[in-house]
Structure 1
């Protein structure tokens, strides 16, 4: 598709992070090591992204941030992709940012560098051209809670918890979670969640509109259940799913005029494509 979509547009946040990278951000983040970000792609077009740092409840280290960038590069180039499940290893989603990394980055410049990098990552996750769902098992705290807002949908298992506890460590959301939270639950509810540092169990989160469903209580089958839940929205060729996601991304982020233009161009590109003609023939046959 030749039309520029939201994830392809040049924005100030991208320019800023490129400048920071030129100043050696990668070399600096490599000092704060530990954990990994693992990616597996299924033949059905659904991938699983796993935050893997069990020793620190899957807290994100500097090297994990760099690995997440690499995994996002892979996903952005995955033409067969239709869905993504974001989860944490060992039945814990993510306890936030590794405090060992934060304590040595205390200047305003350090904070701006850090948050520019993390905002870029979560923005890229939100703009992936296929449908994403966060599988919350255990705790999603601080930056972990922000990370789930960058997914299209959110699921929780019984006994899990989401908490935006930023005020308890003297900060506000910086990964884009504050702005996205308002889009998900509205301004009033967002203010309660942030200023109260409210701990949301699955029932509270569902009633607040923060999550989309509660999975059965069997933790060992949570990933399988999340896969089944997501597959109901990905049961079409990748070209169609990606086209739909791009239309939604445009409508969510751009002016109505620009969003309509992108929707029109995507429609025109797909109208006579082999995938569209095949789907139309099948629909006529069923009728």
Structure 2
């Protein structure tokens, strides 16, 4: 029996029902991953206790601007300390991630630093005060939770690296889908110089981006990533033309627009599908892809495209 005969033998209603019948475990785990974290009380992690400690270290802010075209701009704003993360900024980052999880019209996101530099990582005042191994582990779990939720956002994200991205700032860039650099910018994982290793998930994500051999070179300090070296090893997608703060932001917006043409529900489903493909085994990823298809098949964008009868291979 040929494929056309098979397709005719399956009622449309049955096919639609199959597409929209979710695997309950999959729907719970990843179809709607918003709000899910890696660590909880079973791991000895108390988010409330960590928040109380972080609240003591003020300074700076995390600013979010949501534009009508579906692009959000997340700004790390603590320029007097090269946009280092204070405790309050870490708390605000989680708040902004939760806000972005619920931004149904969003399609893309640019992460940048204020005053033409990205971020120098953690504020040393907080690092010194949280000096015990227990404090370090708690902060590690908090930031890994936050950046994993950030990475799973149904938005196509790009880090705009102006100036320096150091330590935790360098780690944050790896949580984005893409990275762009300006000509004079640099990315440096300075953790070894501080007697530690990356703790916000940056090492694990870096291996996925550039491979284990290049990651060892970068984390050991043997390979310092100026914009050209970062481009050569695949750490960044492109080196922008301008180092000017305003002009490079406009360049980044134009670069991002090529990925977010189309309705939000389709772009967001695409991002969710890719996220599950990275994190799940093949069978589970395929099931999740099926469930996501059920959210857009027969939807407004699909019906409009079919009605146009256009050719998609031009």
1:30 and 2:30 are equivalent in the alignment: no
What corresponds to 2:79 in structure 1? 54
Q: 1:128 to 1:189 in 2, by over 3 A?
A: same
What corresponds to 2:269 in structure 1? 243
Q: Distance in 1 between matches of 2:170 and 2:96?
A: 20
1:272 and 2:291 are equivalent in the alignment: no
Q: Which moved further from structure 2: 30-39 or 209-218?
A: 209-218
* 8 Å CA contact 1:37, 1:67 repeated in 2: yes
User: What is the Cα deviation at residue 259 of structure 1?
Assistant: 0.2
Q: Distance in 2 between matches of 1:35 and 1:75?
A: 20
Q: Which moved further from structure 2: 5-14 or 83-92?
A: 5-14
Unpaired runs of 5+ residues, structure 2, are 1-19
User: What is the Cα deviation at residue 21 of structure 1?
Assistant: 1.9
* 8 Å CA contact 1:247, 1:263 repeated in 2: yes
Q: Distance in 1 between matches of 2:147 and 2:263?
A: 26
Query: What secondary structure sits across from 2:277 in the alignment?
Result: helix
What corresponds to 1:76 in structure 2? 101
* 8 Å CA contact 1:164, 1:198 repeated in 2: no
Which has more radius of gyration? 2
Tell me the C-alpha RMSD between the 2 structures: 1.9
Q: Distance in 1 between matches of 2:306 and 2:117?
A: 43
* 8 Å CA contact 2:83, 2:114 repeated in 1: yes
What corresponds to 1:89 in structure 2? 114
TM-score by length of 2: 0.87
Q: Distance in 2 between matches of 1:54 and 1:161?
A: 17
Q: 1:19 to 1:123 in 2, by over 3 A?
A: same
User: What is the Cα deviation at residue 85 of structure 1?
Assistant: 0.2
User: What is the Cα deviation at residue 16 of structure 1?
Assistant: 5.9
Q: Give the one of 129, 142, 145 matched to 2:154.
A: 129
User: What is the Cα deviation at residue 142 of structure 1?
Assistant: 0.5
